[in-house]
Chain A
Amino acid sequence: MTNVSMTVNGKAVSREVPDETLLSEFLREHLRLTGTHVGCDTSQCGACVVHVNGKAVKSCSTLAASLDGSQVTTIEGLANGGLHPMQQAFTENHGLQCGFCTPGMIMTSVDMVNRYKADGKELTAQAIRGELAGNICRCTGYHNIVKAVEDAAAKM
């Protein structure tokens, strides 16, 4: 067992967990933040993406213990009250159907837009598709997800 302390969605948390606990398990099972989803076991689908110290990370392939002291943001904590422009854009553009991939899609997309803005690069539809390489959606065919990210990028 290891003690893991981190800040999750702005709140300090500390839990005694088995050494091999993944961040996804830590969030879902220990903190009961079930918005972060697990869709695969080979780090391929991106349903589990959260932000660690502001960067998108696949929580299914990160040990909770390795993040002691980190700042973690999950879909539940993305907006402080109201909706983040990315969340808004996903619903306005019908960028989700079953919603299972959605938290990971949104967390990945927020990070994507932030990076492009920081680098002063233009986020084209093609770039968005490339950047979403690590996120699988089986429902939407990506069409409206790409639209949503373009839309949010203009507003963020």
Chain B
Amino acid sequence: MSTGIGARVQRKEDKRYITGKGKYTDDVRNESQAYAAFVRSPHAHANVNGIDTSAAMAMDGVIDVLNGQQLTGDGIGNIICGWAITSKDGSPMNMGAWSALATSKVRYVGDAVAVVIAETQALARIAAEAVEVDYEVLPAVAASDKALAGGAALIHDNAPGNLIYDWEIGDGAATDAALAGAAHVTELAVTNNRLSPNAMEPRAAVATFDECDDHYTLYTTSQNPHVARLVLSAFYQVAPENKLRVIAPDVGGGFGSKIFIYPEEITCLWASMKTNRSVKWTSDRSEAFITDAHGRDHITTAKMGFDAAGKIVGFKVDTIANFGAYMSLFSSSVPTYLYATLLSGQYNIENIHCNVRAAYTNTVPVDAYRGAGRPEACFLVERMMETAAREMGKDPTDLRRANFVQEFPHQTPVIMAYDAGDFGANLDQAMAAADVAGFAARKAESAGRGKLRGLGYSSYIEACGIAPSAAVGSLGAGVGLWESAEVRVNPVGTIEVLTGSHSHGQGHETTFAQIVAERFDLPLENVSIVHGDTDKVQFGMGTYGSRSGAVGMSAIVKAMDKVEAKVRKIAAHVLEASEDDIVIEGGQVKVAGTDKAMGWHEVGLSAYTAHNLPPDMEPGLKEGAFYDPANFTFPAGTYICEVEVDPETGVTDIVQFTASDDFGTIINPNIVEGQVHGGIAQGIGQAMLEQVVYDDDAQLVTGSYMDYAMPRASDVPSFSVHHASTTCPNNPLGMKGCGEAGAIGSPPAVINAITDAIGSNDLAMPATPQAVWNAIQAAK
């Protein structure tokens, strides 16, 4: 069986997971392990007038109780947002100070004010209860529009009116003029609901300070251990990079939430030094709801203008984004460069203007969650297209087709240059697979049973393969977004690939090995993937933004190019042939057209014995590469959702969900389809179930799985997943990325389907049975 590109290879990493041998951060336990428990504010907004730790300190087994004054006193820096956004008046964004432990003020329920270090986890938690904090409660605000309205409580002194930035993109005047001249204008107001990412593995950290070497080791639940080390060193001044090793072992899902560096990791590292003990913290689920960065939370109004023929002439968007109480690591980029730049969708739109205001509120910080900005853009654009089609009495697929971008490359008015795609092909494939032709009959059949059947489309596009470093740098990013790889051929010919990408479920140990095995025509088991440890891997920017394939694998290809060049040189020298005649196949390195050959392992051995190398060649066979993408990649596709609604109860059944994606080259279809399944399930979760709710006092009222509805097996159907691909011209493998598509493309398809079924367009996410029932009643 082939194990190369395109093969459905079973995952190499599975064995340890299915036998219970996976090693996650909470499975790490050091000698004489101490445990941390945080004292967290129950108030959304309060001054901290004093902390009395005496009762906790007096408890047996309590090692220390540490607070924010001590933390900042030791020079631990504030947590920062790494992407600078400039307001349209030229002013920089208003970033408020965020200390890992609050010093004088708490700004959301869950803000940590102190940490207890104790001999057991239970003891630490009990002692945390005994810490008395004197809070002076202040008025609080949870909703972004209320926070920006005059008179709301001021959350950070340096952000007047709670405004972080007021940013725009596109030509406002031209867009206004286009809308004024439009034959038809569709207006739409949408809310993108606030979500909690909920990776099943709660976050955890185990920090160990080694006094002798003045060195720290941190095990953490991270999607990007090197970024964690960089930020912990450069900004939080926990330790210099050479004195800090960050290991992210098996990571139990992330979906963005494990990109960021959180107060807990910083505090555990510092506390380990303070107490000279290894300090471990494991979040429980209710703590996760108030500490893991939330996602989405946009309020948007928009207008789209069409000419008499149904061509889009202009699109104007106004969005308020809720950032929570502090600016998390990449928060600022989400509603700007990851959102507004995708507002052209799959369509040829000459005039687009988008204004975004970002607001502080007394809620958990909000940052990237699967899709990050792109689901918000897609939801708006695809709800808009469906709504406009209904208003103009056009078929929604005809309206889309009439506006599809047909020629590539295509420059949108909002930065992005689409490089390749065939949007019509995906729409055709999805329509055929979903049997759209037979829908009318199915609808009639449902009607016979008193049910309402509806069909909804979503033709999404996203920008992945994040990202060309110079481009993002010019837009304010504080880091480069390349990736690095090292390919080591051992003296016996086996290969280790060290990659800066880091799997948290994506199966890199398999897919990355596939491209190496294919390139050098070796058995898959001869290739091992090493990731997740800053002491082993040279450097890396990590896994998010569907970048591990398009960027991470490209770096491996670049390193393999160098390895291959050296292999050819060695073989040509040993076999006395020309480099150009060397072929690598079947475990051998041969001279084409002759019977001269050496084993792949013999080349490896030659490189390390160095007895007979070409003059001036260095011994060894290991090459590294950094790959900086030339452009974003643009996965796209069409999703079709078919629902049946019970008008008596509002209960909605997804009877069929069809996806046609264009991901470019696919390495392992099993894994790609799995990503799509999971993404769609999360998108259905957003569309129908999930909602983080704060009450008027900014108290979180959805803090457990009893209150926050996660999709369960019976909430989602089996999915019909298809591919119609074009090759990405900008990276060596032609890959586009597949990790976020499902979550981006599916919510509008679901809502378009339900609104089609009930004959009312007024329905917000999540479309719970109650919301659907209310919409049906309101339309009567």
Query: Taking beta carbons and an 8 Å cutoff, which residues of A are in contact with B?
Result: 18, 28-29, 32-42, 44-45, 47, 74-76, 78-79, 83, 87, 90-92, 94, 96-103, 106, 125-126, 128-130, 132-133, 135-146
Q: What residues of A have a CB within 8 angstroms of the CB of B20 in the complex?
A: 33-36, 74-76, 103
With A138-B710, A139-B253 known to touch, is A83 a contact of B200 (CB < 8 Å)?
no
With A41-B704, A90-B14, A98-B200 known to touch, is A35 a contact of B713 (CB < 8 Å)?
no
What interface size band does chain B fall in?
35 or more
The interface residues of chain B, by DSSP majority, are classed as: loop
- Asked if B199 lies at the interface with its beta carbon under 8 angstroms from chain A, I say yes
With A87-B19, A99-B505, A138-B200 known to touch, is A40 a contact of B704 (CB < 8 Å)?
yes
* Chain A min CB distance to B656 (Å): 13
- Complex Cα gap A138–B710 (Å): 8
Contact B202 A144 (CB under 8 A): no
Contact B671 A94 (CB under 8 A): yes
- Complex Cα gap A102–B274 (Å): 38
Contact B716 A142 (CB under 8 A): yes
Contact among A35, A41, A76, A90 for B285, CB-based, below 8 A: A41
Q: Which residue of A lies closest to B255 (CB)?
A: A138
Contact among B250, B678, B704, B716 for A139, CB-based, below 8 A: B678
- Asked if B206 lies at the interface with its beta carbon under 8 angstroms from chain A, I say no
Contact among A32, A74, A78, A99 for B22, CB-based, below 8 A: A99
Query: Taking beta carbons and an 8 Å cutoff, which residues of B are in contact with A?
Result: 10-11, 13-24, 26-27, 29, 122, 198-202, 250-253, 255, 284-286, 504-507, 670-671, 673-674, 677-682, 704-706, 710-714, 716, 718-719, 742
Q: What residues of A have a CB within 8 angstroms of the CB of B716 in the complex?
A: 141-143
- Complex Cα gap A94–B668 (Å): 11
With A40-B705, A125-B718, A141-B716 known to touch, is A75 a contact of B19 (CB < 8 Å)?
yes
Contact B677 A140 (CB under 8 A): yes
Contact among A37, A126, A141 for B201, CB-based, below 8 A: A37
Q: Which residue of B lies closest to A97 (CB)?
A: B505
Contact A76 B284 (CB under 8 A): no
Q: What residues of A have a CB within 8 angstroms of the CB of B713 in the complex?
A: 128-130, 132-133, 135, 137, 142, 145-146
Contact among A29, A45, A132, A144 for B200, CB-based, below 8 A: A45
Q: What residues of B have a CB within 8 angstroms of the CB of A33 in the complex?
A: 20
Q: What residues of B have a CB within 8 angstroms of the CB of A36 in the complex?
A: 20
Q: Which residue of B lies closest to A137 (CB)?
A: B200
Question: Which of A33, A37, A90, A94 gathers most chain B CB within 10 Å?
Answer: A94
- Complex Cα gap A47–B252 (Å): 11
Contact A87 B285 (CB under 8 A): no
**Subset of 23 A-B contacts with CB under 8 Å:** A34-B27, A37-B200, A38-B26, A38-B202, A39-B202, A44-B705, A75-B18, A87-B19, A96-B18, A97-B506, A98-B504, A99-B14, A99-B250, A101-B200, A103-B20, A132-B713, A133-B712, A136-B200, A139-B200, A140-B674, A141-B681, A142-B716, A143-B677
- Complex Cα gap A18–B121 (Å): 13
Contact among A39, A83, A129, A140 for B678, CB-based, below 8 A: A140
Q: What residues of A have a CB within 8 angstroms of the CB of B199 in the complex?
A: 98, 100, 138
- Complex Cα gap A98–B742 (Å): 17
- Complex Cα gap A75–B677 (Å): 25
Contact A94 B678 (CB under 8 A): no
Q: What residues of A have a CB within 8 angstroms of the CB of B11 in the complex?
A: 91, 94
Q: Which residue of A lies closest to B685 (CB)?
A: A138
Question: Which of A32, A41, A139 gathers most chain B CB within 10 Å?
Answer: A139
Which 9 A-B pairs give the minimum distances between C-beta atoms?
A: A35-B20, A99-B17, A100-B252, A98-B505, A141-B681, A44-B705, A141-B677, A75-B20, A97-B505
* Chain A min CB distance to B624 (Å): 28
Contact B19 A40 (CB under 8 A): no
- Complex Cα gap A132–B716 (Å): 12
Q: What residues of A have a CB within 8 angstroms of the CB of B201 in the complex?
A: 37, 39, 98, 100
Contact A40 B17 (CB under 8 A): no
Q: What residues of A have a CB within 8 angstroms of the CB of B14 in the complex?
A: 90-91, 96, 99
Question: Which of A74, A78, A87, A90 gathers most chain B CB within 10 Å?
Answer: A87
- Complex Cα gap A125–B24 (Å): 31
Q: What residues of A have a CB within 8 angstroms of the CB of B19 in the complex?
A: 35, 75-76, 78-79, 83, 87
Contact A133 B705 (CB under 8 A): no
Contact B18 A139 (CB under 8 A): no
Contact B27 A44 (CB under 8 A): no
Contact B678 A35 (CB under 8 A): no
- Complex Cα gap A38–B13 (Å): 21
- Complex Cα gap A94–B672 (Å): 11
Contact A42 B704 (CB under 8 A): yes
Q: Which residue of A lies closest to B284 (CB)?
A: A41
Question: Which of B19, B122, B200, B507 gathers most chain A CB within 10 Å?
Answer: B200
* Chain B min CB distance to A2 (Å): 15
- Complex Cα gap A83–B10 (Å): 15
Q: What residues of A have a CB within 8 angstroms of the CB of B714 in the complex?
A: 126, 129-130, 132-133
